[in-house]
Amino acid sequence: MRDAVRRRPVVTGALRGRADLAADLRRLGLEAGDTVLVHSALHTVGPVSGGAGTVVDALLDVLGPGGTLVAYTQTPDNSHPSRWGLTRGYSVPEERWEEELARVPAFDPHTTPSFGVGVLSEAVRTRPGALRSAHPQSSFAALGAQAEYVTSDHALDCHLGEESPLARLEKLGARVLLLGVGFGVCTAFHLAEYRIPGYPRHTYSCAVAAPPPEGRRWYEYADALLDSSPFPELGAGYETTGAVRSGRIGRADCRLFDLGQAVAYAVGWLAQRPAVE
């Protein structure tokens, strides 16, 4: 277990560069050779020379040639219009569902932009050499030594479970970096939902590529009923175990912890909660 680090004072208005960010990351505890899943809100870092690309550069500098950088590149907007109130943040009347349904493009892991996960995830996804898993709603992008292993064979009927990059990250002993964001977006906790006997399931649907002349088809599948609403409380409990390093990268309050340990804690914590309806 890595000890917590003392937060440094914030230099208001300072422009952060690649070397500055790399120093902050090392001070937080990120090491060469690590595999790390990053969730971020880049604006919390403060002014950065070069923006998201510089942050990716700094992460790769610290991880080195033996390390792997992973970002969540979800596309929940690829969903039935009846669910857009949840997946896109706005609703459409039922009489327009069929019309909108025909317009949803098929997921393409090479070109479909991520949705709702910030500019850093997009910077990882679009970096030359990045690989991306093929799930049409819950993909991950990766750069580095283990990128192919992390992103390959992501089952179409498994968002974030045993046949997803999360399970592979766990096997690699990966770490999670919450960069300016809270536990509410900690995707790793979803892996715990799959390990709770009798956990509720849900029917999902999305547009996927199909051979010509069809070009696309609507794919429906059953999977775990994902629910991130308890994650802030879950994360607060996990933090009391002392397993989380905290510090600052630029102005951003950050947390760094082992993915596997966090998932194991989440399994026990979530199993004690009432069943999701």
Structure confidence at residue 9 (pLDDT): 43
Tokens for 66? 């033996």
191-246 pLDDT, tens per residue? Answer: 999 999 999 999 999 999 988 877 899 999 999 999 999 999 999 999 999 999 99
Asked if the model's pLDDT at residue 151 lies above 50, the reply is yes
Give the count of alpha carbons within 13 A of 40, CB side only: 31
Write down the pTM of the prediction. Answer: 0.91
Output the average pLDDT for the chain: 92
* Residue 12: pLDDT over 70: no
Task: Output the pLDDT for position 16.
Answer: 85
Of all residues in the chain, what percent carry a pLDDT higher than 70? Answer: 94
Q: What distance in Å separates the CA atoms of residue 41 and residue 252, rounded to the nearest whole number?
A: 9
Mean pLDDT of the 250-272 span: 97
Q: Which pLDDT score is estimated for 234?
A: 98
The domain limits of the chain are 18-93+109-199+227-271
Q: What is the dihedral of CA 200, 203, 208, 212, to 10 degrees?
A: 140
Encoding tokens for residue 136?
Answer: 């049409």
Provide the pLDDT confidence category of residue 51 given band limits of 50, 70 and 90: very high
pLDDT higher than threshold 90 for residue 4:
no
| pLDDT mean over 181-194 | 98
More confident residue, 4 or 129: 129
Name the pairing type of β-strands 252-258 and 245-249: antiparallel
Q: How many CB atoms lie within 10 A of CB 88?
A: 16
pLDDT at 135 over 90: yes
Amino acid 15: pLDDT: 81
Which pLDDT score, from 0 to 100, does residue 185 have?
A: 97
Is pLDDT at 3 greater than 70 in this prediction? no
Query: Using one digit for the tens of pLDDT, what is the confidence trace for 53-109?
Result: 999 999 999 999 999 999 999 999 999 999 999 899 999 999 999 999 889 999 999
In the prediction, which pLDDT does 13 show? Answer: 55
Contacts 24+ apart (CB under 8 A), 150-155: 150/35, 150/68, 150/70
Q: What is the pLDDT of residue 274?
A: 66
Specify whether the CB–CB gap between 118 and 107 falls below 8 A. no
Q: Mean per-residue pLDDT for 166-186? A: 98
The whole-number average pLDDT for the span 112-129 is 96
